[in-house]
């Protein structure tokens, strides 16, 4: 069973994809960049500000699927500059305190709209 997840509290997709897809008990969230859902514009902040907004956008998509960060089992992080890794990690650690998911973090040449960071997650809904 497949269900498309959508919320106005996260940015509209910038391409032909869904914010997230729930397949069985597994939620596959598309990558989130630091787009303000209210304006549809990428914020102009540094890596710290952009990471905070990415995480808030991820949280809002998870909430639309009746999940939270504690349901996340895998995170993929994409940084425009690996030099931002320490600052990124500092913000990331504020969101995943007790339940730390598996994670990948890589530097990429470019991200949509000139973003500094993109974060995607896979979450697992616990059986009721």
Q: Annotated active-site positions, please?
A: 105
Reported for 36-43, long-range contacts at CB under 8 A and 24+ positions apart, including other chains, are 36/11, 37/8, 37/9, 37/10, 37/11, 37/12, 40/11, 40/12, 42/113, 42/114, 42/115
Token pair belonging to 36: 């303000």
Token pair belonging to 49: 């500000």
């Amino acid at each position: 069973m497949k269900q498309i997840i959508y919320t106005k509290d996260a940015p509209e997709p910038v391409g032909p994809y869904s914010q997230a897809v729930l397949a069985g008990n597994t939620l596959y969230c598309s990558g989130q960049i630091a787009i303000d859902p209210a304006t549809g514009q990428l914020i102009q902040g540094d890596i710290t500000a952009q990471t905070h907004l990415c995480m808030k956008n991820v949280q809002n998509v998870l909430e639309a699927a009746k999940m939270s960060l504690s349901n996340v089992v895998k995170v993929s992080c994409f940084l425009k500059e690996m030099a931002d890794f320490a600052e990124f990690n500092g913000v990331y650690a504020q969101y995943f305190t007790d339940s730390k998911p598996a994670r990948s973090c890589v530097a990429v040449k470019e991200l949509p709209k000139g973003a500094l960071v993109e974060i995607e997650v896979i979450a697992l809904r616990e059986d009721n």
